[in-house]
Amino acid sequence: MTRSATAPFPPHEARAIARAFLPAHVLGNRYDYFYTLSKLRSDPLYPGVLDALRGTSAPVLDLGCGLGLLLHALRLDGQAMPYHGVDIDADKIRRGTRIAAQCGFEDDARFAVVDLADGWPPHAGSVAILDVLQYLDAEAQRALLADAIAMLTPGAKLVIRSGLGDDSRRGRTTRITDRLAHLFGWMQEVPKCYPTREGLQSQLAAAGLHVDFRPLYGNTPFNNWLIVAG
Ligand SMILES: C[S@@+](CC[C@H](N)C(=O)[O-])C[C@H]1O[C@@H](n2cnc3c(N)ncnc32)[C@H](O)[C@@H]1O
């Protein structure tokens, strides 16, 4: 696999994934298609996550999965591990479930509506928490990470992407954009707390995990980092 882990998908791969999100009818709503296409073409998130998960076949729990784009990226990459995506947004879960079934992924993929402020399903394997931590308060973040660490099986990975709480220009842009996304209705939830590098590092290292931090913002103006622990 020669794809870069720090650049967005090349156009033909972005189109191959986004095509699944086209409406069944030619006059149907194309919002999900254009949203996924532009995200996949501009954001290096998924190539970075695929690189982190490659080499383990442990089931993946995707916390705050949205439409389940990670599932589609995994399958494009030839990663066939079982996938469980959960999100608070029932409409995204409904659309994500339908699209995964249309792609023939239903045997090894399932989705459920879950509010991470209240809890999360039991799991053993890898855990992905992508652009979600900021929607939980600091206490819920710590509790979620403690349980995610306990879910890891040998060889499995905890893969987090998050904006980090700091005073950089990128940090400020991330905070303002997340608030605008809520105000304009793109995101139902309000960001509550951005984790700090020090806080994540100390919790993950205290659990005996090897932790790797690297910037993963590509050409975006955001303060996004990929944190891989295992
Ligand atoms: C920026 S999107 C990221 C979606 C997906 N992880 C991705 O990277 O494409 C944030 C997601 O977190 C979900 N979310 C926010 N608060 C949540 C909560 N309390 N419980 C579960 N999901 C939540 C939102 O509904 C949204 O789908």
What ranges do the domains of the chain cover?
Answer: 44-229
Asked whether 217 lines ligand 1 (CB < 6 A), one says no
Judged against a pLDDT cut of 90, whether residue 189 lies above it is answered with no
Q: Which CATH number fits domain 44-229: 3.40.50.150, 1.10.260.30, 3.40.50.2300, 3.90.1170.50?
A: 3.40.50.150
- Concatenating the DSSP letter of every residue in the chain gives ----SSSPPPHHHHHHHHGGGS-SSTTS--HHHHHHHHHHHH--HHHHHHHHHTT----EEEET-TTTHHHHHHHHTT----EEEEES-HHHHHHHHHHHHHTT-GGGEEEEE--TTT------SEEEEES-GGGS-HHHHHHHHHHHHHHPPTT--EEEEEE--SSSHHHHHHHHHHHHHHHTTS-SSPP--PPPHHHHHHHHHHTT--EEEEE--TTSSS-EEEEEE-
Q: What is the pLDDT of residues 93-145, one digit of tens each?
A: 999 999 999 999 999 999 999 999 999 999 999 999 999 999 999 999 999 99
Q: What is the pLDDT of residue 165?
A: 87
Q: With a 6 A CB cut-off, is 64 part of the ligand 1 pocket?
A: yes
Give the atom of ligand 1 at the shortest distance from the alpha carbon of 89.
Answer: 25
pLDDT of residue 99: 96
The tens digit of pLDDT for each residue in 73-94 reads: 999 999 999 999 999 999 999 9
